[in-house]
Amino acid sequence: MILYKYMSAEVARKVLHGNSIAFAIASEFNDPFETIAGYPVHPSNPIGELFDGIRSWGSRHVWTENSGVLSLTRTAKNPLMWSHYANEHHGAVIGFDAQLAGFTDEETCLIPAQHGSIIYTQTRPSTPLTATPKGDPVNVGHTHHYPVGHHEKLSRLFLHKSMCWAYEEEVRVVKCIADRDEAGANASGHFEVVEANGRRLYCYRLPAGSIKEICLGLRHEALSSHQAFSDYSATAEQVQPGVKILTCRMADKSWDIEVGIP
């Protein structure tokens, strides 16, 4: 399974050369409603509402601060995604082999990719969980594996979004970023912490061969000349042997973006 990440040309360069991809904290995403569906408050009285709110905030905070989220998508052909997340078509899309990258590993992912499809709804969930969690209790904020009996809770926390975001066709991978040693490693992988534009990013070290494709946007600088493309391709092949270089074009008779080998 190939999953895709839209990004600027500079970020794509860092991903290719560093062989890593950034997980981020959900509270720093561009949607302020992130994780809010995980702990709906159901007051029976004003005092109950107060204590429910405090408990909900505390649990959400622990989950959020200790969980890194990687947002991916199923296609490299979405014009809106190119515009919004790839610097108005000047950027690139990188395709990852989800299995080779460890994104489907249920032992190292709190939510692996095969269980990470976003659920888009018109109405925000506000009812109690319908299923009783099964299996061992989860250690809030310190669970590195996928606790299958707790999927409804995890889904409410990390996978529910408003229908207005449905165009993204998002698939998430969630990893625990707590309990790292001095080298940045824990049971979920190896992470290097960096700050970019005021955000904390946890750069996950990818296994060799995880990056399979790089698709250059319509306005990418590497498409300015044959020499520029040749130089870019040579560098990409050097740092990511075997990577497939693709380019975009506008369809002749529709609003679609077409992707192919140049």
Interval 221-262: pLDDT, tens? 999 999 999 999 999 999 999 999 999 999 999 999 999 998
Say what the pLDDT of residue 54 is.
41
- Per the document, the length of the chain is 262
Say what the pLDDT of residue 2 is.
98
SS3 track for the chain: CEEEEEECHHHHHHHHHHCEEEEEEHHHCCCCCCCHHHCCCCCCCHHHHHHHHHHHHHHHHHHHHCEEEEEEECCCCCHHHHHHHCCCCCCEEEEEECCCCCCCCCCCCCECHHHCECEEECCCCCCCCCCCCCCCCCCCCCCCCCCHHHHHHHHHHHCEEEHHHHHHCEEEEEEECCCCCCCCEECCEEEEEEEECCEEEEEEECCCCCEEEEEECCCCHHHCCHHHHHHHHHHHHHHCCCCEEEEEEECCCCCCEEEECC
Side-chain half-sphere exposure of 52, counting CA atoms within 13 A: 13
In a domain, 118, yes or no: yes
In a domain, 136, yes or no: no
In a domain, 44, yes or no: yes
Q: How many folded domains does the chain comprise?
A: 1
Range of the domain at 252: 2-131+141-260
What is the Cα–Cα distance from 179 to 171, expressed in whole angstroms?
25
Residues in the chain with pLDDT < 70?
40-59, 131
Say what the pLDDT of residue 62 is.
86
In a domain, 14, yes or no: yes
In a domain, 168, yes or no: yes
Say what the pLDDT of residue 138 is.
81
